[in-house]
Amino acid sequence: MKYSDLLNITQEYGNPIYVYDAEKIISQFNRLTNAFNTVKKLKLNYAAKALSNLTILRLMNELGSGLDTVSIQEVKLGLLAGFKPESIIYTPNGVSLEEIEEAAALGVRINIDNLSILEQFGSKHPDIPVCVRINPHVMAGGNSNISVGHIDSKFGVSIHQIPHLLRIVELTNMTINGIHMHTGSDILDIDVFLYASEILFETAKNFKELEFIDFGSGFKVPYKDGDIETNIEELGEKLSKRFNEFCEEYGKELTLAFEPGKFLVSEAGYFLAKVNVVKQTTSTVFASVDSGFNHLIRPMLYGANHQIINISNPKGRERYYSVVGYICETDTFANNRRINEISEGDILCFKNAGAYCFTMASNYNSRYRPAEVLWYKDKPILIRERETFDDLIRNQIDVKDLFEAKNQKAAVK
């Protein structure tokens, strides 16, 4: 996309606003598919939590993706978007047995990550096959805030609990049709990931009726020029070779599954915000935009570095700015960042805003969540309207009559 296209979108639909480039999503999907083209059965299950807009889900379905979901609401969104139940895998954490049963009744694949629920579900529904999420106790990600494979993680069944797991399977006579792991986001060291995969292969040998092995995802994408990223092609070559060898040892062609989210949509996303105020103090120049962590929380929550470009003045002289929001909290997007000279009214573009950005937005300070636009075949398509005051109070119940009655009673006295 060109900067002029993004500026035109703000003029047509306002700001702040999220924009997603469909062509980038498609190219990322094809890149990942091509990296594993020597595997006979490959299934990419898009992680809905990264960006759950219904139109994005429909695009993923059109590409032939499955869907990775973590809540019953995401399951229902997937079904509404046209995914077949068998193309949806439900991988919750810490939910009730009742929610898992509701998902199972819809016909989606079930992935269970703790022994308690596994035993309860297997005892009540031994005829429903389930996948089991294993914690290999390996951190393949580079960011400890978003790694879920460490020994104290709340996710997955510890590899040290495999004997207990096998006992539950034997006593309930349930079928395990898949084995799954997810070590966390921002995978940098492919050898570490392959080491975790070996643990998964070894665990898989305990189950004779597997249909698939799910290696999670967490592939790192570049967030700035020259940034490091997961070498998907190298991973594809090495893991495909080892997976094919395992299938031969296992005596059956299994499906190699991934659940990419950030890899597919992060670089496709742009967040656009207008500069309200340029404020200079004794040591800092602040550029305050019409947004805050209510719209984009990742820099404050994870320390994420989103490249910021002044698309209103992309060739201007660079100066140092701290980009901040309008929330009544510390909501700093960037500290002393070199950005082309900023004036009030300019539009700033935050790159890599496709994953875990809008989906984590809120109404804090009673602000409205922004609109979303899909850039498809060189045209902008509005896929979510900007919220209004009516949206803000839609589910609130005004009990003003209660207080009016109290005031009337006091007045009588």
8 Å CB contact between 140 and 189: yes
Query: In this predicted model, what pLDDT tens digit does every residue of 361-381 receive, in sequence order?
Result: 999 999 999 999 999 999 999
Domain with CATH 3.20.20.10 in the chain: 36-260
176 or 141, which is more confident = 176
Instruction: Specify the amino acid at residue 266.
Output: S
> Mean pLDDT over all residues of the chain?
93
> CB neighbours of 233 closer than 8 A, spacing ≥ 6?
35
Nearest Cα residue to 87 out of 239, 219, 212:
212
8 Å CB contact between 129 and 89: no
- Whether pLDDT at 148 is above 50: no
Q: Which homologous superfamily does the CATH classification assign to the domain defined by 36-260?
A: Alanine racemase (3.20.20.10)
Helix axes 162-172, 115-124, angle to 10 degrees: 10
From CA 323, how far away is CA 173, in angstroms rounded?
58
Q: What is the pLDDT of residue 227?
A: 81
8 Å CB contact between 288 and 279: yes
- Span of 11-25, 58-72, 220-234 with lowest mean pLDDT: 220-234
Q: DSSP characters for 241-264?
A: HHHHHHHHHHTS-PEEEE--SHHH
As annotated, the active-site residues are 328
pLDDT mean over 33-40: 96
Query: In this predicted model, what pLDDT tens digit does every residue of 187-204 receive, in sequence order?
Result: 767 888 899 999 999 999
From CA 7, how far away is CA 309, in angstroms rounded?
12
Q: Which residues pair with 280 in a beta bridge?
A: 285
8 Å CB contact between 290 and 333: no
8 Å CB contact between 116 and 94: no
From CA 321, how far away is CA 336, in angstroms rounded?
5
Domain with CATH 2.40.37.10 in the chain: 269-393
Q: What is the pLDDT of residue 406?
A: 61
**Confidence bin at 302 (pLDDT 50/70/90):** confident
Give me the half-sphere count of Cα atoms (radius 13 Å) on the Cβ side of residue 338. Answer: 4
Q: Exposed (0-12), middle (13-18) or buried (19+): which is 360, by Cβ within 10 Å?
A: middle
Q: What is the pLDDT of residue 189?
A: 78
**Confidence bin at 137 (pLDDT 50/70/90):** confident
From CA 287, how far away is CA 355, in angstroms rounded?
24
Q: What is the pLDDT of residue 234?
A: 93
DSSP-derived 3-state class of residue 157: strand
- Whether pLDDT at 152 is above 90: no
**Confidence bin at 401 (pLDDT 50/70/90):** confident
What's the sign of the alpha-carbon dihedral 3, 8, 9, 14? positive
Q: What is the pLDDT of residue 412?
A: 59
Task: Give kind and range of the element (H or E) at residue 134.
Answer: strand 130-135
User: Which CATH class, in words, describes the domain spanning 269-393?
Assistant: mainly beta
**Confidence bin at 149 (pLDDT 50/70/90):** very low
Percent of all residues in the chain with a pLDDT value above 90, rounded to a whole number: 82
Please measure the distance between the N-terminal and C-terminal CA atoms of the chain and give it in whole angstroms.
69
